[in-house]
Structure 1
Amino acid sequence: MVVPAHAQTHKCQGPNGRIIYSDAPCASNQTGSEIRLRENTIDTRKDWERNERYLQQRQQEEAEKAGGARPLPSPEYANQDRAQSPECAAAIRSANTQPSNASPQKIDADRGSARQVCGFDPWPGPSMTQIDTENRRSRALEAAAQARMNPIITSCDAGGCWDTNGIRYNGTNGRYFRAGDDTFCTRVGKTLNCGAR
């Protein structure tokens, strides 16, 4: 017969009034004594899952008694079971914990694995690859707009200059107008600073 071992627990109060719980007896400058702890009788397992399984089993038994076929678990129940599983929590945690240099494709792959485990999408909306593509496009448009506002001069003649994109700027003495839209630009070295007139 196996008897459960009980560790001794002491509740001690120090000179400063602080309470300490320990498996060692109280020190000479502390007051207190051994305390007896009760057995932990609380079931820490997932009661919800157990109850749901019990209800499913009862429904199946009642269907069999009535002569019907065994009903399959509902998709909602199956998804709830998977969504609340430790495996799902671990998969979400893993997908959310990425190094700073992780590629959008790697993040999407890890999120896809978590979706398979959990049975639902914890990250609704566009994928990281789509977000990265949109960010790259925005940065390219911003760079193009910046280049248009600060073009680099490649060559000039008596009536104006050309930039690296072959766009003509009419004018002289550091004051130019971009051909086509008449944007006003001032020249600073080889760069034109352009803005609205």
Structure 2
Amino acid sequence: MNQEIASQRQFAKHWPGRLLLAKVAALCVIGLSSTAPAHAQVHRCLDASGKTIYSDAPCTTGQPGQLIERRKSQEEIVRERMQAAEANERKYRSQQAERDQQNFETQRQNASRSTVSTQQPQNLSGSRACTEAKKDLEYVSSIRTISQDEKRMRTNAAITQVNAACGSNTPLMQEPPKIVVRPGRPRAFTHCDQGACYDDTGTVYHRSGPDVLNGPGGVTCFRSGSSWNCN
């Protein structure tokens, strides 16, 4: 049933253009079968006063003028009419397609506005689930008897629960950067005095304490037994 209705609508949409072509074709057949004269030719002439005259008859002898449109045959006239009818048909179809597209866009925009107007935003922040999730997060944040890694994991789980229940977007806690302490390298000093020590290359390391030396480029050395370790 729906397919039949769609076919009828499609036929009705193109019916005016098809009817136009049918009428033109019928007129062309009648024109070919009739004995009417072909389209007259047109001459442009100048009379004795210099006035321009258009006529289907040639200019008189001695009268300046020229043929500006030759006589057309019946076949040429029919062909031009058919071409004009086809051009009108293409124009009609193009205009109909534009109207259909405009109608489609209008219907789509109306449907979109209707959908937006019927959707009511949900206020999750006042829900019971959101309140309970926030209490759990506060409890986890107050714990002081667990390690930092465990507390971070439990806090992130609570934050995820709050985001889901309250519609929020609170970022999770990130793992703190790990500090890598490189062991100091032993440094051989040839001799020391009250103010500094000197290595085998002659570099001076000034004392900043009984067991601490500061060298060039921010190098710090610490006494380890009878040797020195420098970073």
Bigger relative contact order, structure 1 or 2 (CA pairs below 8 A, ≥6 apart): 2
TM-score, with structure 1 as normaliser: 0.36
Greater radius of gyration (CA): 2
TM-score (norm 2): 0.31
Higher helix share goes to which structure? 2
